[in-house]
Structures are given as structure tokens and as C-alpha cells.
Amino acid sequence: MLPLRSASLDSAAGYPYFRAMTDHEHHHDHHHDHSELSETDLRVRALESILIEKGYLDPAALDVLIETYESKVGPRNGARVVARAWTDPAFRDRLLKDATPAIGELGYAGRQGEHIVTVENTPELHNMVVCTLCSCYPWPVLGLPPVWYKSAPYRAKAVKDPRGVLRDFGFELPATTKIRVWDSTAEVRYFVLPMRPEGTEGWSEDELAELVTRDSMIGTGLPKRPDQVQRSEGTS
Amino acid sequence: MSADRDAALEATRALPGIPVDADGPVFREPWEAHAFAMAVTLHARGLFSWPEWAAALAEEISHAQAAGDADCGDTYYRHWLATLERLVAEKGVTNSATLARYREAWDHAADRTPHGKPIELRPEDFAG
């Protein structure tokens, strides 16, 4: 269940179901010895308790799910996939041919990962992923999308001026590198296979995974360079 | 945190409208995680398909944009929640009146709960 929070600045303005209720808030006395929930929090709890009562939700299962997405699934999964592709050419081929089962080989599967397509960066081509419609994203390999991925400015600018977006993220591609923007949908989620950084010959899969950033798998960043990480000797 | 990642964050901060999360928590607030998990569970139960969800969410977002929401990502889960409320009503799971009744009951529950104690819904919270 939701942990207790103090009142936040949430407002329900513009939201159809509870607009009529906002007056009620002003009837509170202003003693602050009782608890207060934000308008949004109230709506979430209302919906959640109805769904539990009607048997649509099992509170324990819900908590497990939240825990999964909050901590277990995340860009580290994707980093493992990239590192494997960098070290195992046969895996790389499978990943480019049919990403979902290849990713499944590492044990990553599940919601929103049913139809993942891998797009490979090369010196000639840089790939970048956006969802112009809403925020479709390959959850099993990248977790939940970052805030900026869901923002209108990113969605619009990625299509109109991808090179400018990359500049916003702090890097410039050579003018000879083409940029291709992929629009993820509810059916197809794109996953970028970045280029293996130079100077990493002989690195283990674990070490390489440390170089893979979330943004490099969306195409709004590059993997770290070897001099940007402390290479831990002896990891396998 | 690497130096160029810092630089990248700095750059995106400088650009109005693209908020970045610095690899922080995926959810900014617990309610977002709950709203997310509810949609995932209802989908798993077959209440809606993901294409149906994506279309409804996109519609919610474009309505909000038309109404002046800058949609910088920070209101994203509000759109998500509004989509949930709409879909459960459309599917006949509940309706807006029931949602409003429960919302008010939770408000009463919060009012009678001393600060710092867990808030629980009791039958008397529905009395008004």
C-alpha cells in the first residue's frame, strides 16, 4: 500500500473526474496534526481500493510488481545484452536478426518486450529511439523510461532535429555519420546496440557492461570510454 | 557519474523543456509506481491490450496538451492515471461516481489519521 506522505502540491485541475471535489479541500481545518494526501494520491488510492475489492488486484502481487520495476528491472539488463553482443559475434547476429529470443537467452523477457528490434550503430549510422505517440519503451532491457523520454520537447525535437538533441545531451557526431530516428510503438520497441568503445580489447563481458549507459541504448548517448571507468581487475 | 555524463546533464538542464532524471528513481513518487502497476495488472488480466492502452494514453496526453499542459514528462503519470480511470469506467469495472466516493473516503481517512500513522480505509470513512 502507499506509504504515508505529507501533502504535496499536486492539483487535480484539468482532470475530469474530481474537478468538482477540489472545493472540498478548502473545508479542511488548518490544524496540521492530521494526515493529508495529495489529490492525485487520493485518486490512486480510490482506484486501487476499488480494484482490490472487486478482485482485480491482489495487494501482495501489486507490491511485488512495484518492487520489480523499481529495483530489479533496469538498464543494467540492457547493458548485459550489449556486452554479450560485443564479445560474442554469434549472439550479436541473433540479436540483430530477432532480438526478443536473443534477449531471452540472458533471462530477460516480459511485458513490453515481446517485439524488440535491435538497431546497430556503425561509424556511418547512428540510431536514436523515440516514441512520438506516447512513451513506448523496451521495459525488460531498459526498465521504465526516463522523464525526458516522455517529454513533448524530446519527442518533437528527436524527429525534427536529432543532431540538435544529441548536442543537448553533450555530444556531437561526425558530419559524415547519418542519424536514423526510430519511432517505437505499442507493437515494436527499438533497442540501440552502440559501438564498442576503442581500447577495450580483451575486456570481459562484465567489464564491458560497465561502459554501457542507458542513454547509449536509446541513442541519446555513447558508451563510456575506458578511461571513464575504473577497471576492476579479476572480475569474471 | 562520469564527467561527460555531468556535461550532458548540464546541457539538458540548460535546454528548457527536457527534464532529466539523472538515473534517479524511476518513479518520482510512490503513487506513480502504483498507477503503473495497476495498469500492468489490468492488462495482464485482459482488461485492455497494450495498443488500446497506448492509444488511450496518447489521446489523454494530446487532450492535456491542447488544454495547455507543457507535457515535460513530470505530468506523465497524471495522464497515465487519467487514462486508467477512463478505461476502467469504459470497461464497466467502476464509474466516476464510485471513484469520487472512494476518493472522498480516503480523504476522510487521512483527516482522522494522526500525522505519521499509516492511513487505512474504514467503513465509517464512507459516512461523509
Sign of CA dihedral B98, A19, A4, B70: positive
Last residue of a domain, one of A40, A71, A102: A71
Is the pLDDT assigned to residue A81 strictly greater than 90? yes
Task: Answer whether residue B85 is part of any domain.
Answer: yes
Bridge partner list, A193: A120
Whether B26 contacts A147, CB under 8 Å: no
Task: Answer whether residue A14 is part of any domain.
Answer: no
A-B contacts at Cβ under 8 angstroms: 235
Specify the number of domains making up chain B.
Answer: 1
What pLDDT, in 10s, does the model give residues A13-49? 222 212 222 333 334 444 456 777 888 999 999 999 9
A136 catalytic? Reply is yes
A151 catalytic? Reply is no
Top-confidence residue, A107 or B20: A107
Is A134's CB within 8 Å of B57's CB? yes
Of B3, B38, B93, the CB nearest to A48: B38
Do A92 and A39 share a domain, yes or no? no
Do A131 and A149 share a domain, yes or no? yes
Give the distance from residue B7's alpha carbon to the nearest chain A alpha carbon, in angstroms.
6
What is the domain range of residue A49? 28-71
How many helices and strands in chain B, by DSSP H and E? 5, 0
CA distances for B42 relative to A24, A26, B24, angstroms: 30, 34, 27
Q: Which pLDDT score, from 0 to 100, does residue B23 have? A: 46
Q: Is A108 helix (H, G, I), strand (E, B) or coil?
A: coil
What pLDDT band is residue B71 in, cutting at 50, 70 and 90?
Answer: low
Whether B80 contacts B71, CB under 8 Å: no
Name chain A contacts of B91, Cβ cutoff 8 Å: none
Bridge partner list, A127: A180
Do A99 and A59 share a domain, yes or no? no
Nearest to A223 by CA among A204, A200, A202: A200
CATH number of A137's domain: 3.90.330.10
CA distances for A86 relative to A60, A78, A122, A226, angstroms: 39, 12, 13, 15
Is the pLDDT assigned to residue B24 strictly greater than 60? no
Q: Which pLDDT score, from 0 to 100, does residue B73 have? A: 67
CA A181 to chain centre: 17
Q: Is A126 helix (H, G, I), strand (E, B) or coil?
A: strand
Task: Answer whether residue B124 is part of any domain.
Answer: no
Do A176 and A61 share a domain, yes or no? no
Do A205 and A152 share a domain, yes or no? yes
Distance between CA A231 and CA A206 in Å, rounded?
Answer: 10
Is A34's CB within 8 Å of B20's CB? no
Of A44, A133, A154, the CB nearest to B31: A44
Distance between CA A104 and CA A206 in Å, rounded?
Answer: 18
Distance between CA A76 and CA A108 in Å, rounded?
Answer: 11
Distance between CA A92 and CA A99 in Å, rounded?
Answer: 9
Task: Answer whether residue A117 is part of any domain.
Answer: yes
- In total, chain A counts a number of residues equal to 236
Last residue of a domain, one of A16, A37, A71: A71
Task: Answer whether residue A20 is part of any domain.
Answer: no
Do A182 and A98 share a domain, yes or no? yes
Chosen from A43, A69, A157, A215 to mutate, greatest number of chain B CBs within 10 A: A43
Q: Which pLDDT score, from 0 to 100, does residue A108 have? A: 86
Do A131 and A147 share a domain, yes or no? yes
Cell numbers for A20, please give them.
468538482
Do A148 and A174 share a domain, yes or no? yes
Is B8's CB within 8 Å of A49's CB? no
Task: Answer whether residue B104 is part of any domain.
Answer: no
Question: What's the rounded mean pLDDT across residues A74-85?
Answer: 92
- Please count the CA atoms within 13 angstroms of the CA of A150 that sit on its side-chain side: 24
Do A156 and A184 share a domain, yes or no? yes
Is A147's CB within 8 Å of B37's CB? no
Cell numbers for B102, please give them.
472512494
Give the distance from residue A221's alpha carbon to the nearest chain B alpha carbon, in angstroms.
9
Task: Answer whether residue A120 is part of any domain.
Answer: yes
Specify the number of domains making up chain A.
Answer: 2
Bridge partner list, B80: none
What pLDDT band is residue B1 in, cutting at 50, 70 and 90?
Answer: very low
What pLDDT, in 10s, does the model give residues B83-103? 999 999 999 999 999 999 999
Chosen from B15, B40, B103 to mutate, greatest number of chain A CBs within 10 A: B103
Percent of chain B past pLDDT 90, that is, above it, reads 27
Stretch among A65-69, A208-212, B37-41, B56-60 having the lowest mean pLDDT: A65-69
Task: Answer whether residue B66 is part of any domain.
Answer: yes
Task: Answer whether residue B15 is part of any domain.
Answer: no
Give the distance from residue B127's alpha carbon to the nearest chain A alpha carbon, in angstroms.
15
Task: Say which of A49, A134, A151, A232 is annotated catalytic.
Answer: A134
Q: What is the dihedral of CA A88, A91, A97, A102, to 10 degrees?
A: -150
CA distances for A22 relative to A16, A19, A211, angstroms: 11, 6, 49
Task: Answer whether residue A154 is part of any domain.
Answer: yes
A135 catalytic? Reply is yes
Last residue of a domain, one of A71, A101, A123: A71
Is A33's CB within 8 Å of B33's CB? no
What is the domain range of residue B51? 29-94
Task: Answer whether residue A22 is part of any domain.
Answer: no
What pLDDT, in 10s, does the model give residues A116-128? 999 999 999 999 9
Max intra-chain CA distance, chain A: 68
Task: Answer whether residue B38 is part of any domain.
Answer: yes
Give the distance from residue B124's alpha carbon to the nearest chain A alpha carbon, in angstroms.
15
Do A117 and A216 share a domain, yes or no? yes
Sign of CA dihedral B24, A118, A193, A204: positive
What pLDDT, in 10s, does the model give residues A140-196? 888 878 778 878 888 889 999 999 999 989 889 999 999 999 998 877 889 999 999
Task: Answer whether residue B79 is part of any domain.
Answer: yes
Is A69's CB within 8 Å of B36's CB? yes
Do A116 and A190 share a domain, yes or no? yes
- DSSP states along A158-205: HHH-HHHHHHHTT----TTSEEEEEE--SS-EEEEEPPPPTT-TT--H
Do A33 and A104 share a domain, yes or no? no
